[in-house]
Amino acid sequence: MIGRDTRVQDFTTRLVLEGNKTIEFFGPGDITRETTSAIVNAANSSLLGGGGVDGAIHRAGGPAILAECRQIVSKIGSLAAGKAVITAGGRLAAKKVIHTVGPIYHGGDQGEAGELASCHLACVRLADEHSLESLSFPAISTGAYGYPVAQAAPLAIASTFGALVSAHSVNQVRFVLFDYATLTAYERAAENFYSSNAAYPLHAAYPLRIEKAHS
């Protein structure tokens, strides 16, 4: 078995790095039920709640999350795409919520890829700064913001890998996907990432292996 007994064990596919670090994929799933140290909210720039994952997290976590978001907004104004902030988790099982704003997709030639990568980098780094051991992502920007899942998934995985290899506290990252189609896209991207890394290792100190859950 890999990792501590307290780690979430349900996954369909995972990438395992040396050093007991994992990137896991699970679905269909409800991110508000995750027991990782933090969950990531696909927020809008106002940080005042919305639909989709954003609304679900605020409903499940209760008013304390919104109150803290209002305090942040009073200091920084709106949150730009690719940036992240952290609040308490309210009534959620997760101790913290990391709010990030994904890019709205406009065809892919307006910096969307860089902003989406920045979302994942910023969230892992912020979790690490707060000495959190695990966090769960949704499929950022792939809903109302229109980012094609087949393009978003490879970016999400590569940028998460890049942040995870240098993290000191974070050792488990999960992608909790809403439906089977999104899960399949992320699993396919993970397999391609693994195959590419096997041929041309991206980080010699962190060779990868890929594992599938037993049905």
Residue 75 burial (10 A CB sphere; 0-12, 13-18, 19+): exposed
Strands (E) across 54-213 are located at 84-88, 96-101, 134-137, 172-176, 208-212
Active site (annotated) includes residue 179: no
Give strand pairing partners of 41: 99
For residue 59, give Cα distances in angstroms to 24, 26, 50: 25, 22, 10
Identify residue 162 by its one-letter amino acid code.
G
Q: Among 5, 30, 54, 179, which one carries the catalytic annotation?
A: 54
Query: Which DSSP category does 110 fall into?
Result: S
Q: Which two three-digit tokens encode residue 167?
A: 């993290």
Catalytic residues: 54
